Amino acid sequence: MIQRLIRTLVGAAVVAAFAGSTAAQDSKVADELAKYREALADGNPADLLEVKGEGLWAEKRGPKNASLEQCDFGLGPGKLDGAYAQLPRYFKDTGKVMDVESRLVHCMVTLQGFTREQATKNWFSKPGTESDIEALVTFIGAKSNGKPINVPATHPEEKKMYQIGEYIFYRRSGPQDFSCAICHGQNDKRIRLQDLGNLTTKEGAGTAMKTWPSYRVSQGAVWTMQRRLIDCMRQARFPEPNYLSDSIVALQVYLQKNATGTVMETPGIKR
Amino acid sequence: MNKKIAITFLCVALTQFAWAEEKTASGKSLSKNPVSAEAEKVFRDSFRVDSPKYWSQRLEQDETMKLCSQYKDNPPVAVRQKIELAQKATIRYPVDGKLLGDWKEGEKIAAHGRGGHIGFIQPDKPMTPRGGNCYACHQLAAKEVAYGTIGPSLHHFGKIRGNSDEIVKYAYDKIYNSNAFSACTNMPRFGLHSWLTPEEITHVVAFLMDPESPVNKD
């Protein structure tokens, strides 16, 4: 762990050096990523966030001065090994299908006494503002490393969310006639220089989903799956869906079911 | 002039005819999907109610979008033909009737990929011009290596196809309304959505056609 951390710290310095040119051309970013991967070997700045998330998980916080250690992600209170890999899933206590972020926020509200607004205020980081959710999700995600994604969507509510996700995936609208399928519905395509997996297949969805949450070099930050999908809506020229909205959870059920069986490798590192 | 007015009338008539027909057809077929009504509601409810009106308008679907979504972009032949006919009727031409503009302008439009991103997190600045973003999906000039592959290569388009009036018109029509030729294609309908103006489209056409354009020259 210590050795991994040191490598990560070196890596963070490398990232900082590249972060200046984030808006640079795609081709330049591709070069940077290649150089960057070399420099990092198997370290990842997300490892730092993972450590932070581990601390936040156990820390007593909020009006109820409680930790998150009793949070139940579907495998029992506090059971995190493999939890991320089997989400989203249906939860009896809320009567809803929830993804890792919805469930985490639910626990911050019910266990720690935060309001929903407080819990979600910084759901993603900005330069100068860190995000507890990012750190916690990175930590929780890493607890599924090596575990196969397992979202069979057999419960009727999960099945319905899968169908809703599929509906949204193919739903075209907006001034560019886009849908998710335009960019992610075929094998071996790319937009500019970015490879686009075919998210309708096990292979494509698996390659994508196993790596999240991921450190994004071009953004200099870890992105959660909510952040990733909300940004894809932006790329499609749609308005911005709300954080934790059912559309985003439904899309995740669709993608995770397609990816089921793929072994998790998270936190990932991406362009 | 008289001829032009007549054509315009014909077009309008055709559009309305096709539109009316599409409505009944889709009304019937859309009810087949068991979750679509609920899924549509879930989707709509996922956006902020206080967002500007022109944002929510981007969630609206015309008949073509509805049919393409329903058939996962692979409609049966009859539906395909109906879409193509209706979309052909939407095409409008520049007032002076010239379809070949300035390829240098077209080169800029083809390369420009920003514009039209909305939202609270990373919107484009309000006055950002909207580009054609053709390189996102197509290879064009050989010197630009950062091109996507969602669409076919258009390198040497004019050189290979020639620049007869028919090809010029085809290129214009295709960019104006891609679905007039291939229903449910991944290519946006640039003219129909006023994403590009007819004049801007003529510039892009010139970029594809002109022997001096880097699309054909190199």
Q: What is the pLDDT of residues A143-195, one digit of tens each?
A: 999 999 999 999 999 999 999 999 999 999 999 999 999 999 999 999 988 89
Contact A27 B146 (CB under 8 A): yes
Three-class SS state of B34:
coil
Specify the pLDDT at position A271. Answer: 86
Specify the pLDDT at position A199. Answer: 98
Band the pLDDT of B99: cuts 50, 70, 90. Answer: very high
pLDDT digits (tens, 9 = 90+) for A24-61: 344 555 665 665 565 566 678 999 999 999 999 999 99
Band the pLDDT of B163: cuts 50, 70, 90. Answer: confident
Specify the pLDDT at position B10. Answer: 40
Q: Across residues A69-96, what is the average pLDDT?
A: 98
Band the pLDDT of B9: cuts 50, 70, 90. Answer: very low
Name the residue among B56, B61, B179 with its Cβ closest to that of A239.
B56
Specify the pLDDT at position B28. Answer: 41
Q: Across residues A71-83, what is the average pLDDT?
A: 98
Q: Is the omega angle on the peptide bond into residue A88 within 30 degrees of 0, that is, cis?
A: yes
Band the pLDDT of B54: cuts 50, 70, 90. Answer: confident
Instruction: Name the token pair of A181.
Output: 């399928």
The C-alpha of B203 sits at a distance from chain A's nearest C-alpha, in angstroms, of 19
Band the pLDDT of A215: cuts 50, 70, 90. Answer: very high
Name the residue among B35, B58, B121 with its Cβ closest to that of A238.
B58
What is the C-alpha separation between A167 and A181, in angstroms, rounded?
10
Specify the pLDDT at position A9. Answer: 45
Q: Average the pLDDT over each of A34-48, A127-141, A226-240, B15-29 and give the range with the smallest value.
A: B15-29
**Residue B122 in this model has a pLDDT that exceeds 70:** yes
The C-alpha of A216 sits at a distance from chain B's nearest C-alpha, in angstroms, of 16
Q: Name the average pLDDT for chain A.
A: 89
Specify the pLDDT at position B164. Answer: 96
Q: What share of chain A is helix, strand, coil (3-state, %, to 5)?
A: 45, 10, 40
The C-alpha of A194 sits at a distance from chain B's nearest C-alpha, in angstroms, of 8
- In a mutagenesis test of the A interface, which of B50, B66, B186 is the best target, namely the one with the most A β-carbons within 10 Å? B186
- pLDDT above 70 coverage of chain B, percent: 85
Q: Across residues A198-216, what is the average pLDDT?
A: 97
Contact B150 A250 (CB under 8 A): no
The complex scores an ipTM of 0.86
From A99, A131, A104, select the one nearest A116 (Cα to Cα). A104
Specify the pLDDT at position B7. Answer: 43
Pairwise pLDDT comparison (B144 vs B30), residue with the higher score: B144
Q: Which residue of A has its CA nearest to B194?
A: A175
- In a mutagenesis test of the B interface, which of A120, A172, A199, A234 is the best target, namely the one with the most B β-carbons within 10 Å? A172
How many other C-beta atoms can be found within 10 angstroms of the C-beta atom of residue B59?
16
What is the C-alpha separation between B191 and B201, in angstroms, rounded?
8
pLDDT digits (tens, 9 = 90+) for A91-103: 999 999 999 999 9
Specify the pLDDT at position B17. Answer: 35
Specify the pLDDT at position B20. Answer: 32
A183 in active site: no
Specify the pLDDT at position A41. Answer: 60
Nearby residues of A95 by Cβ (< 8 Å), 6 or more positions away: none
Domains of chain B: residue spans and CATH: 3-88 (no CATH), 103-216 (1.10.760.10)
Specify the pLDDT at position A30. Answer: 60
Bridge partners, residue A189, by sequence: A196
Are the CB atoms for A73 and A79 separated by under 8 Å?
yes
Q: Are strands A189-191 and A214-216 parallel, antiparallel or unpaired?
A: unpaired
pLDDT digits (tens, 9 = 90+) for B23-33: 334 444 444 55
Name the residue among A172, A181, A191 with its Cβ closest to that of B148.
A191
**Residue B182 in this model has a pLDDT that exceeds 60:** yes
Band the pLDDT of B50: cuts 50, 70, 90. Answer: confident
Contact B42 A164 (CB under 8 A): yes
Specify the pLDDT at position A42. Answer: 62
**Residue B70 in this model has a pLDDT that exceeds 90:** yes
How many helices (H) and strands (E) would you count in chain A? 11, 7
The C-alpha of A72 sits at a distance from chain B's nearest C-alpha, in angstroms, of 25
Specify the pLDDT at position A31. Answer: 63
Q: Which residue of B has its CA nearest to A232?
A: B117
Name the residue among A193, A196, A237 with its Cβ closest to that of B117.
A237
**Residue B111 in this model has a pLDDT that exceeds 80:** yes
Q: Across residues B79-101, what is the average pLDDT?
A: 97
Domain layout of chain A by residue ranges = 2-142, 156-270
Specify the pLDDT at position B34. Answer: 75
Q: Across residues A14-25, what is the average pLDDT?
A: 38
What's the CATH number for A156-270?
A: 1.10.760.10
Q: How far is CA B177 from CA B27, B83, B88, in A?
A: 24, 11, 7
What is the C-alpha separation between A123 and A243, in angstroms, rounded?
8
Pairwise pLDDT comparison (A30 vs B39), residue with the higher score: B39
What's the CATH number for A2-142?
A: 1.10.760.10
Contact A168 B43 (CB under 8 A): yes
Three-class SS state of B96:
coil
Specify the pLDDT at position B129. Answer: 86
Q: How far is CA A179 from CA A110, A117, A170, B84, B186, in A?
A: 36, 30, 6, 19, 9
